[in-house]
Chain A
């Protein structure tokens, strides 16, 4: 059932609860491509969260290529990933497997990537679609 449940007592931050449940629903096919998601304001109102919290979850889903924002029309579930994005996903999975072998948890692995990206980022490096 395509529902989103927010547990206020959970140790997982609210934005992560929203992001992970949406991601799971999209990846399992419960939310098909081009399905319109609720507006950030509406979802924030439903869940009793700040607008910025839901906006952050949507932003991360957009960066992961799972949803796309079509201006004023709203946010929609993205279609199948492009070949480039699929290669990026495969590279990320390989990286995460290696980090796990090294004893990192996902948050630790992401922190390493973020730190390295900020330290070594090359000028003019634009994100791929």
Chain B
């Protein structure tokens, strides 16, 4: 029976991976699309994109998406198994605390892995670099930092609600708090590692792109670590509270109606986060100018 269940799961996963892979391939082959994205990023970030660097930037963006797809495909069975088991088993008291404890570190690791590839390559033997080092703090505005802290606090609060709902013993409360602490330490080390990763630039423009892409990676990684656990715990809380459906009774029948707010709320959060984190997109340049005495 277990073998049959596993086989079904494997076939479903393989079909899903093959279809998404096909779409990804079609997506990858459209070179003009990546060139347009590179051009858009250059305009948004107010950085020059000379012809000789255009293909390098477009290739970087394409490889970044390809790697994100690859990592997602690899990690999907893990996340999928957890969610399916949670929904099927309905044994929230058993599953929820384990999921809560695993989420912060899981997203810190996945987020860091996503930043490992691709890397920028200098176009010739000359090397240019900064004379000063920068910290992770340089990559965020105060409002963005507040939004990050809010995400972590929300994750903690939603996790606490879930633990209370399943009447988890005190040890799980401690483990939940410790898990967020471990997630923070993992994020801090990983973010510093990305910031201190050697650059590879042959001139000022290449160095600018190095900085822009590095800041983009640190910012994306940090937002993922701060907010994804909160959103996932919120969805789990909704599942536990049966908030996705509303029971109604009509004469002679009992039915269920889909509730949209638990689905819409994460989407609204995503839109708000996108708006908040727009303001710090140019910070890589300010850090450059500040240290050069031009800012």
Residues of A at the B interface (CB closer than 8 Å) are 1-9, 21-22, 25, 30-31, 35-39, 42-48, 74
Contacts and interface: CB of A to CB of B under 8 A. Distances in A.
B130 A38 contact: yes
The 3 closest A-B pairs by CB, nearest first: A45-B198, A46-B129, A1-B292
A2 B204 CA distance: 11
Most chain A CB atoms below 10 A, which of B126, B199, B294: B126
B126 A38 contact: no
B132 interface: yes
Interface in B196-224: 196-201, 204, 207
A38 B196 CA distance: 9
Interface string B218-247: 000000000000000000000000000000
Nearest to A45: B198
B128 interface: yes
Contacts of B197: 45
Nearest to A26: B131
A29 to B, nearest CB: 8
B253 to A, nearest CB: 69
A97 B128 CA distance: 33
Contacts of A21: 131
Contacts of B130: 2-4, 38, 46
A123 B129 CA distance: 43
A36 B132 contact: yes
27 contacts: A2-B132, A3-B128, A3-B130, A3-B204, A4-B131, A5-B126, A5-B128, A9-B125, A21-B131, A22-B131, A30-B131, A31-B132, A35-B291, A37-B133, A38-B130, A38-B131, A38-B133, A42-B133, A42-B196, A43-B129, A45-B197, A45-B198, A46-B198, A46-B199, A46-B200, A46-B201, A48-B200
B127 A25 contact: no
Given A46-B199, A74-B133, A30 B292 contact: yes
B125 A39 contact: no
Interface of B: 125-133, 196-201, 204, 207, 291-294
Contacts of A38: 129-133
A6 B129 CA distance: 9
A47 B207 contact: no
Nearest to A43: B129
Contacts of A6: 126-128
A4 B132 contact: no
A43 B197 CA distance: 10
B269 to A, nearest CB: 36
Contact of B127 (A1, A5, A74): A5
B292 A8 contact: no
A3 B198 contact: no
A89 to B, nearest CB: 22
B128 A4 contact: yes
Contacts of A44: 198
A39 B127 contact: no
Given A39-B196, A42-B198, A3 B129 contact: yes
Given A30-B293, A36-B132, A44-B198, 5 more contacts: A2-B132, A3-B292, A4-B131, A6-B126, A35-B132
A39 B204 CA distance: 20
Contacts of B291: 2, 35
